[in-house]
Amino acid sequence: MGCTIGIDLGTTNYCMSISEGGNAIVIQTGEGPRVMPSVVAFTPAGDRLVGIVAKRQAITNPKETISSIKRLMGRKYDELTKGIFNVSYDIIPNENGDAVVRIGDGRTFTPQEISSMILQKMKYRAEEYLGEEVTDVVVTVPAHFNEVQRKATKAACTIAGLNVKRVLNEPTAAALAFTDAVERRKIAVFDFGGGTFDISVLQVVNGIFEVKATTGNTQLGGDDFDALLVEWIMNEFKREKGIDLSEDPVAPQRVREAAERAKCELSAALETSINLPFIASGDQGPVHLEMSISRGLFEGLIKELVESTRPLCQQVLKDAGLTHADLETVVLVGGSTRIPMVRALVEEAFQQEPVHSVNPDEVVAMGAAIAGSVVSGQRKDLVLLDVISLTLGVETLGGVMAPIITKNSPLPIKRSKMFTTAVDNQQIVGIHVLQGERELSEDNRSLARFELVGIRPSPRGVPRIEVTFSIDANGILFVNAKDAVTGKHQELKVNPSGGLSDDDIRELIQDARQYREKDRDRIKLIEMRNNADQLIYEASKLLKTSKDRLDRESIIELESALNELRTARDGSDIPSIESTQKDLAMVFHTTRNILKMVDPIDEEDDSGDMKTEDLKEGID
Ligand code: AMP
């Protein structure tokens, strides 16, 4: 049986993990780091980059570098928080009003497509690591994601050729990774990432993980802190130098990157500085941006947003029927929990020091891998009981929402409610499915509409229409409406993927398959080039430092092998890179052996060599 991979598809970073012998192990990406940026870029040369290489070229290619795509998953364009959404690419509504990305050449991509590109890269890396095909995954989502957002995430996996065994809430995953199955605990998981905030309370009893309550804000995260800092820096610069950087094609991206770096530095230092030379040009020539930022100033900017998490901490305890004194542990998840002000708030809100022993960047993927071992049957000592995070219901007369499944109900669940007609002889009823906590339909998220037709004509209030909602363990909703008199029923056509039809998905799977082959070749080529670069570096260094101790023939041989590999490396013919690399490796080793004979001490002095890891970090 193949391995089930745990995937944390984060707003800022992605990470994946497998469960081996009951323990979760983070899969090292081919690039080196265990956690990679969730960034996709389309280069002018027509390449598609994912991860660290995509992030690195963001400054020169801001309009075609897509980050924080998770914030657009399953969202309508009109719902997006305007202004604070800190990205440099274009977001537009498509014909359904869904938020989609538009790149420079006019092509548009749904968030599901962009996410699937990241997932394809993950699939490739996992397969490379495991040496076998990977299809089954457990993917995590913020607990506060609604139905549409969950389905959009599932659709992204499907497009990437992955089979989702379970959609798991991120805090549940974090608790799974953290808690020993035999322990008995009540845990709060405070998850503050790049784009979302979740707070959940779980109870673990003898290996049963039960989410007691969960709440959060899917539109609040570290990105918002960056946006506030960027705004402050730009205003300051305008005030000091009279130059507005916001219209510049490149400057805002440079400021954004510097602001995020400064934010991270301020988690450890009380003051940091930003230096961006040649950021603009004025009457007197180039203008540089230099300023120092204190932690106090930064905290002043973000205070309101950080404080907005406090009532949610109180709310989740109330929903779980607990007080802070009942909690044994408070776990921190997500990069933004490294901010001292955030940590202080957590400590105050729960009146205990949160634990720091788990890596907040990896814990969700690790928990997803453990959940993978549960759903694949490898681990039988754990049971996962999740809850629905937002109330589901239907619209009734006067635009009022009637709840059918209330938030924090444990999953899986099935609930029915009887409704009737509003006017005499009504033969059709419209069922409008909603999700959210507000009383009026218009304030909640509309999930789908459908009609039940053929109701027997009768006075208003007589027909009995049973509406049934059932949600499976993944939090996926199925709706059925039945006329209890005639037995006629209608299944809900909830849009399966937050804006994509089944046909759209099939087409995208085809595209993705084609790309997968292309991507594999590209990644192979990049890796070959990377290996070649390493050898070129070492051979050039040897040539430079030992030229005077080598005979002319050895020098010519080394130089010529070096040049051959350099030429091949700049092309894209993999066999040619392979063979010239082999040739240079042979000449290189022969030369080193000659030198060893000439001067045995010198040979061991490799201290200045670049390590494989240093080079690997740069490849995609
Ligand atoms: P995540 O979504 O969990 O990967 O969290 C990413 C967010 O955490 C981004 O907004 C990062 O800028 C932020 N982050 C990462 N490290 C730090 C740090 N040391 N201090 C403040 N924020 C950080």
Q: Whose CA is nearest to atom 21 of ligand 1?
A: 264
Distance 606 CA to ligand 1 centre (A): 36
Distance 371 CA to ligand 1 centre (A): 25
Q: Which atom of ligand 1 is nearest to the CA of 191?
A: 3
| Length reported for the chain | 620
How many CA within 13 A on the CB side of residue 309?
31
Q: What is the pLDDT of residue 619?
A: 27
Q: What is the pLDDT of residue 182?
A: 53
Q: CA 228 to CA 304: how far, in whole Å?
A: 11
Q: What is the pLDDT of residue 1?
A: 57
Rounded to 5 degrees, φ, ψ at 619 are -100, 165
Longest dimension (CA), the chain: 107
Alpha-helical segments (H) within 202-289? 222-241, 251-265
CB 12 within 8 A of CB 194: yes
Q: Residue 10 burial (CB < 10 Å; 0-12/13-18/19+)?
A: buried
* Whole-angstrom Cα Rg for the chain: 28
CB of 338 closer than 6 angstroms to any ligand 1 atom: yes
Distance 435 CA to ligand 1 centre (A): 30
Q: What is the pLDDT of residue 462?
A: 87
Q: What is the pLDDT of residue 600?
A: 58
Q: Whose CA is nearest to atom 22 of ligand 1?
A: 336
Quote the distance between the C-alpha of residue 34 and its chain's center. 14
CB of 142 closer than 6 angstroms to any ligand 1 atom: no
568 contact partners, CB below 8 Å, separation of at least 6:
532, 576, 577, 579, 580, 581
Pairing status of strand 208-217 against strand 383-385: parallel
CB of 334 closer than 6 angstroms to any ligand 1 atom: yes
Q: What is the pLDDT of residue 498?
A: 53
Helix, strand, or coil (residue 351):
coil
In the chain, which stretches have pLDDT less than 70? 1, 30-32, 81-86, 179-184, 385, 474-475, 492-502, 505, 516, 519, 523, 599-620
Tokens describing residue 121: 């890269």
CB of 361 closer than 6 angstroms to any ligand 1 atom: yes
Distance 188 CA to ligand 1 centre (A): 20
CB 139 within 8 A of CB 9: yes
Q: Which atom of ligand 1 is nearest to the CA of 334?
A: 3
How many CA within 13 A on the CB side of residue 558?
24
Helix, strand, or coil (residue 393):
strand
What residues are labeled active site? 8, 70, 170, 191
Q: CA 220 to CA 72: how far, in whole Å?
A: 13
CB 63 within 8 A of CB 82: no
CB 581 within 8 A of CB 571: no
Which residue from 195, 557, 211 is spatially nearest to 408, judged by alpha carbons?
211
Distance 190 CA to ligand 1 centre (A): 14
Q: CA 530 to CA 541: how far, in whole Å?
A: 17
CB 541 within 8 A of CB 512: no
Q: What is the pLDDT of residue 342?
A: 97
**Three-state SS across 551-599?**
CHHHHHHHHHHHHHHHHHHHCCCHHHHHHHHHHHHHHHHHHHHHHHHHC
- Eight-state DSSP code of residue 183: -
Q: What is the pLDDT of residue 337?
A: 94
CB 266 within 8 A of CB 293: yes
Q: What is the pLDDT of residue 614?
A: 31
CB of 393 closer than 6 angstroms to any ligand 1 atom: no
Q: What is the pLDDT of residue 375?
A: 85
CB of 67 closer than 6 angstroms to any ligand 1 atom: no
CB of 10 closer than 6 angstroms to any ligand 1 atom: yes
